[in-house]
Amino acid sequence: MSLSSPSMDQWLAEAKQDPSFRACGMYLVHNGTVRETPKQQVRQGIDDGSKVHGMTFSYDPDKVEAAVSAARELPGIGYVRVWLNEGELSLGDDIMYVLIGGDIRPRVIDALQQLVWTIKNECVKEIEHR
Sequence-distant (6+) residues with CB within 8 A of 12 are 27, 99
Sign of CA dihedral 7, 12, 16, 20: positive
Class (C level, CATH) for 8-129: alpha beta
| Nearest partner of 126 among 43, 7, 30, judged by Cα | 43
| Nearest partner of 83 among 109, 119, 50, 114, judged by Cα | 119
User: Across residues 50-56, what is the average pLDDT?
Assistant: 96
Whether the per-residue pLDDT at 2 is higher than 80: the answer is: no
Sequence-distant (6+) residues with CB within 8 A of 57 are 84, 85, 86, 87, 89, 95, 124, 125, 126, 127
Q: Which pLDDT value is given to residue 1?
A: 62
Domain positions in the chain: 8-129
Read off the pLDDT of residues 32-46 as tens digits, 9 standing for 90 and up: 999 999 988 988 888
Whether the per-residue pLDDT at 74 is higher than 70: the answer is: yes
Decide the pairing of beta strands 54-59 and 87-90: antiparallel
User: Across residues 53-81, what is the average pLDDT?
Assistant: 98
